[in-house]
Chains A and B, each alone.
Chain A
Amino acid sequence: MSTSGSENHTNYLNDGYGVKSWLLTTDHKRIAILYMISITLFFMIGGFFALVIRLTLLSPNGTLVSADTYNKMFTMHGVTMIFFFLIPSIPAVLGNFLVPMMIGARDLAFPKLNLLSWYIYVLGGIFTLSAMVLGGVDTGWTFYTPLSSGYSHTNVVPTVIGVFIVGFSSILTGLNFIVTIHKMRAPGLTWFRLPLFIWAHYATSVIQVLGTPVIAVTLALVGFERITGVGIFDPNIGGDPILFQHLFWFYSHPAVYIMVLPSMGIVSEVVTCFSQRKLFGYRQMAFASMAIAVFGFLVWGHHMFVSGQSVYAGMAFSALSFLVAIPSAVKVFNWTATLYKGTIRFNTPMLYAFGFIGLFTIGGLTGIVLATLPVDVHVHDTYFVIAHFHYIMVGGAVMGYMAGLHFWWPKITGKLYPEGLAKFSALTLFVGFNLTFFPQFILGYLGMPRRYHIYPPEFQVLNVLSTAGASILGLGYIIPFFYFMWSLRKGKVAGNNPWNAKGLEWLTPSPPPTFNFDKTPVVTEEAYAYPEEDLAGG
Chain B
Amino acid sequence: MTGHTISRNRYFLIFAALIVLLVLTISMAYVDLGPFNIIIALTIAIIKAVLVILYFMHVRYSSRVTWVFVSAGFFWLLIMFTLTMSDIVTRFSF
Q: Which residues of A contact B (CB under 8 A)?
A: 182, 206, 210, 214, 242-243, 246-247, 250, 297-298, 300-301, 308-313, 316-317
Please, how many angstroms separate the alpha-carbon atoms of A309 and B91 in the complex?
7
Closest chain B residue, CB of each to CB of A251: B80
Is the CB–CB distance between A313 and B65 below 8 Å?
no
Is the CB–CB distance between B73 and A313 below 8 Å?
no
Q: Pick the contact of B80 from A214, A310, A313 — CB < 8 Å?
A: A214
B83 neighbours in A (Cβ, 8 Å): 246, 298, 300-301, 313, 316-317
Is the CB–CB distance between B86 and A210 below 8 Å?
no
A300 neighbours in B (Cβ, 8 Å): 83
Contacts A182-B65, A210-B73 given; indicate if A246 touches B91 (C-beta within 8 A).
no
A246 neighbours in B (Cβ, 8 Å): 83-84, 87
Q: Is B9 close to A, CB under 8 A?
A: no
A243 neighbours in B (Cβ, 8 Å): 84
Q: Is B36 close to A, CB under 8 A?
A: no
Q: Is B12 close to A, CB under 8 A?
A: no
Q: Is B49 close to A, CB under 8 A?
A: no
Size of the chain B interface, CB-CB below 8 angstroms: 13
Closest chain A residue, CB of each to CB of B77: A210
Q: Pick the contact of B86 from A242, A250, A297, A316 — CB < 8 Å?
A: A316
B72 neighbours in A (Cβ, 8 Å): 206, 210
Is the CB–CB distance between B79 and A297 below 8 Å?
yes
Closest chain A residue, CB of each to CB of B69: A178
Is the CB–CB distance between B76 and A309 below 8 Å?
no
Contacts A182-B65, A301-B83 given; indicate if A210 touches B90 (C-beta within 8 A).
no
Closest chain B residue, CB of each to CB of A320: B83
For the residues of A in contact with B, the DSSP-based class is helix
A-contact 0/1 string along B26-65, CB 8 Å cutoff: 0000000000000000000000000000000000000001
Closest chain B residue, CB of each to CB of A300: B83
A297 neighbours in B (Cβ, 8 Å): 76, 79
* 13 pairs of residues in contact across A and B, judged by CB atoms under 8 Å: A182-B65, A210-B72, A210-B73, A250-B80, A297-B76, A298-B79, A301-B83, A309-B87, A310-B90, A310-B91, A312-B90, A313-B86, A313-B91
Q: Which residues of B contact A (CB under 8 A)?
A: 65, 72-73, 76, 79-80, 83-84, 86-88, 90-91
B79 neighbours in A (Cβ, 8 Å): 297-298
Q: Pick the contact of B87 from A206, A214, A298, A310 — CB < 8 Å?
A: A310
Q: How far is the CB of A174 from chain B (nearest CB, A)?
A: 13
A317 neighbours in B (Cβ, 8 Å): 83
Please, how many angstroms separate the alpha-carbon atoms of A182 and B86 in the complex?
35
Closest chain A residue, CB of each to CB of B91: A310
Q: How far is the CB of A361 from chain B (nearest CB, A)?
A: 28
Question: Which of B80, B86, B87, B88 neighbours the largest number of chain A CB atoms within 10 Å of its CB?
Answer: B87
Closest chain B residue, CB of each to CB of A308: B91
Question: Which of A243, A308, A313 neighbours the largest number of chain B CB atoms within 10 Å of its CB?
Answer: A313
Question: Which of B72, B73, B79, B83 neighbours the largest number of chain A CB atoms within 10 Å of its CB?
Answer: B83
Please, how many angstroms separate the alpha-carbon atoms of A250 and B87 in the complex?
13
A250 neighbours in B (Cβ, 8 Å): 80, 84
Question: Which of A206, A246, A317 neighbours the largest number of chain B CB atoms within 10 Å of its CB?
Answer: A246
Please, how many angstroms separate the alpha-carbon atoms of A242 and B85 in the complex?
12
8 more CB-based (< 8 A) A-B contacts, given A210-B76, A246-B84, A310-B88 = A182-B65, A247-B84, A250-B84, A297-B76, A298-B83, A300-B83, A301-B83, A316-B83
Q: How far is the CB of B91 from chain A (nearest CB, A)?
A: 4
Q: How far is the CB of A207 from chain B (nearest CB, A)?
A: 10
Please, how many angstroms separate the alpha-carbon atoms of A246 and B81 in the complex?
10
A316 neighbours in B (Cβ, 8 Å): 83, 86
Please, how many angstroms separate the alpha-carbon atoms of A396 and B35 in the complex?
49
Please, how many angstroms separate the alpha-carbon atoms of A313 and B65 in the complex?
34
Please, how many angstroms separate the alpha-carbon atoms of A300 and B73 in the complex?
18
